[in-house]
């Protein structure tokens, strides 16, 4: 098996739905990253073996292929779009790394893209002339309606089960925003698109302000609010993968795991435990952790169960302070980890959950290292 490295990693700003990216198609967001990434790595467009992008809301059309063509990649470069909901972007990177490790490719562009603003409406086709189209907001994530909770309701139930009261969730959200404002992304992380070069959502929050927000799911004691839920957003994020040692960040390992669909937010816990176990590492020893903050309760539960140091988790703020561009979110985490490792070294854990009770995790290293074969 061949080692795998991240040669370059960039993203767009993460912009809430209806904001500056509201008129941009997903492929255009993704295409804007390809040229700068290849230029940073010094790799010719013709050397790219494949483009793999995660996307959850575009409704088909292979957005990865459209983005590749829009960016001017040669027609011979194939492209693949995958949908594992929130895990899509990280899964695309995981798949690209596997391609290189297996010797099927040398250079792969991988990541994710999403536009809540331009997502098509969803409807079931009428079954007869007397029936109207049946619109729906989200598809089924399990075959069992009784085991498919509303995600906000599931987060509120998780908060109750894990003993995470509303004030603790709000304190976590405030800290996420504070960190994002105090430590903005380094130069080169964000590719400006239509003049947008910063994440616009982070703001100064106060306990008094958050206490006035209505509960959107759950009860007064453990319920979730708009402030403890990541806002819907538009963004793209991408990395260039290549042979081990060819870039500043090494991929030490990655995997996906399934969990209980009733508690989808807990799925990263077994995924991280399995990955670290196979690598002979401990999650608590990672210098940097990029953990998805779809809900404050979700992140707090993961931190608690994995024994993570909160100071090392999302040190520059998380999705609560940026937004949640579903298919791109995992790739955004990977780009952030890349930038942290390039600046400070060490190892980084990236983890994200997806609807239906799935999760993906990856361990990256800012050192020129490889680990022994996986331990079963």
What are 54-97's pLDDT values in tens digits?
999 987 889 999 999 999 999 999 999 999 999 999 999 999 99
- Report pLDDT digits (tens) over 180-202: 999 999 999 999 999 999 999 99
Could you give the angle at the alpha carbon of 63 between the alpha carbons of 12 and 194, nearest 5°? Answer: 30
289-304 average pLDDT score: 98
In a domain, 156, yes or no: yes
CA distance 113 to 65: 12
Sign of the Cα pseudo-torsion (105, 358, 169, 150, in order): positive
How do 122-124 and 233-243 pair as beta strands? Answer: unpaired
What's residue 42's pLDDT?
98
Q: Over 70: is that where the pLDDT of 291 sits?
A: yes
pTM, two decimal places: 0.96
Please give the sequence-ordered ranges of beta strands (E in DSSP) within the chain, or none if there are none.
Answer: 4-11, 15-16, 50-54, 79-82, 108-115, 122-124, 134-136, 215-217, 224-225, 233-243, 249-258, 288-291, 347-354, 358-365
Residue 180 to residues 36, 112, 153, 186, 345, Cα–Cα distance (Å): 24, 22, 27, 12, 20
Q: What are phi and psi of 193, to 5 degrees?
A: -130, 125
What's residue 106's pLDDT?
98
Name which of 2, 77, 1 is nearest 38 in CA terms: 77
SS3 241: strand
323-351 average pLDDT score: 98
Name which of 95, 63, 99, 94 is nearest 79 in CA terms: 63
In a domain, 127, yes or no: no
In a domain, 24, yes or no: yes
In a domain, 195, yes or no: yes
| pLDDT band (50, 70, 90) for residue 46 | very high
In a domain, 126, yes or no: no
| Domain coverage including residue 315 | 1-118+142-364
CATH code for the domain of 238: 3.40.47.10
Residue 223 CB-half CA count within 13 A: 13
CA distance 83 to 137: 16
| pLDDT band (50, 70, 90) for residue 309 | very high
Q: Over 70: is that where the pLDDT of 376 sits?
A: no
In a domain, 128, yes or no: no
What's residue 147's pLDDT?
81
Number of domains composing the chain: 1
Give the catalytic positions in this structure.
86, 324
CB atoms within 10 A of CB 280: 11
Query: What Rg value do the Cα atoms of the chain yield, rounded?
Result: 20
In a domain, 191, yes or no: yes
First to last CA, the chain: 17
| pLDDT band (50, 70, 90) for residue 373 | low
- DSSP string covering 252-312: EEEEEEE--TTSGGGTHHHHHHHHHHHHT--GGG-SEEEE--SBHHHHHHHHHHHT--GGG
Structure tokens of 79? 């492209």
What's residue 10's pLDDT?
99
Residue located via tokens 């982070």: 202
What's residue 372's pLDDT?
64
In a domain, 125, yes or no: no
Share of the chain above pLDDT 90, in %: 89
Return the DSSP state at 71. T
What's residue 98's pLDDT?
97
214-241 average pLDDT score: 98
């Amino acid at each position: 098996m061949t080692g795998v490295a991240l040669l370059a990693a960039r993203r767009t700003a993460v912009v809430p739905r209806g904001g500056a990216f509201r008129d941009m198609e997903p492929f255009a967001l993704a295409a804007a990253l390809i040229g700068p990434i290849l230029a940073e790595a010094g790799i010719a467009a013709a050397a790219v073996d494949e483009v793999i992008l995660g996307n959850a809301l575009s409704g088909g059309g292979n957005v990865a292929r459209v983005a590749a063509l829009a960016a001017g990649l040669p027609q011979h470069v194939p492209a693949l779009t995958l949908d594992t909901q929130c895990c899509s972007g990280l899964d695309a990177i995981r798949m690209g790394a596997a391609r290189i490790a297996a010797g099927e490719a040398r250079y792969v562009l991988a990541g994710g893209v999403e536009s809540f603003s331009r997502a098509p409406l969803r409807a079931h086709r009428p079954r007869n002339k007397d029936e109207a189209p049946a619109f729906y907001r989200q598809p089924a994530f399990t075959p069992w309606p009784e085991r498919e909770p509303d995600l906000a309701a599931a987060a509120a139930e998780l908060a109750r089960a894990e003993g995470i009261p509303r004030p603790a969730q709000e304190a976590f959200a405030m800290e996420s925003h504070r960190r994002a404002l105090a430590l903005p992304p380094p130069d080169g992380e964000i590719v400006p698109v239509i003049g947008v070069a910063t994440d616009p959502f982070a703001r100064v929050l106060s306990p008094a302000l958050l206490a006035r927000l209505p509960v959107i799911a759950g009860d007064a004691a453990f319920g979730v609010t708009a402030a403890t839920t990541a806002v819907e957003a538009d963004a793209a994020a991408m990395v260039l993968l290549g042979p081990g040692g060819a870039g500043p960040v090494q991929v030490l390992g990655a995997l996906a795991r399934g969990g209980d669909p009733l508690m989808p937010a807990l799925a990263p816990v077994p995924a991280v435990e399995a990955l670290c176990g196979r690598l002979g590492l401990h999650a608590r020893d990672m210098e940097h952790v990029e953990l998805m903050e779809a809900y404050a309760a979700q992140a707090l539960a993961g931190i608690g169960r994995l024994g993570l140091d909160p100071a090392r988790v999302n040190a520059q703020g998380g999705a609560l302070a940026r937004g949640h561009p579903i298919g791109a979110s995992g790739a955004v985490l990977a780009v952030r980890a890349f930038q942290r490792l390039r600046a400070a070294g060490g190892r980084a854990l990236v983890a994200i959950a997806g609807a239906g009770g799935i999760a993906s995790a990856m361990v990256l290293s800012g050192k020129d290292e490889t680990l022994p074969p996986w331990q079963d």
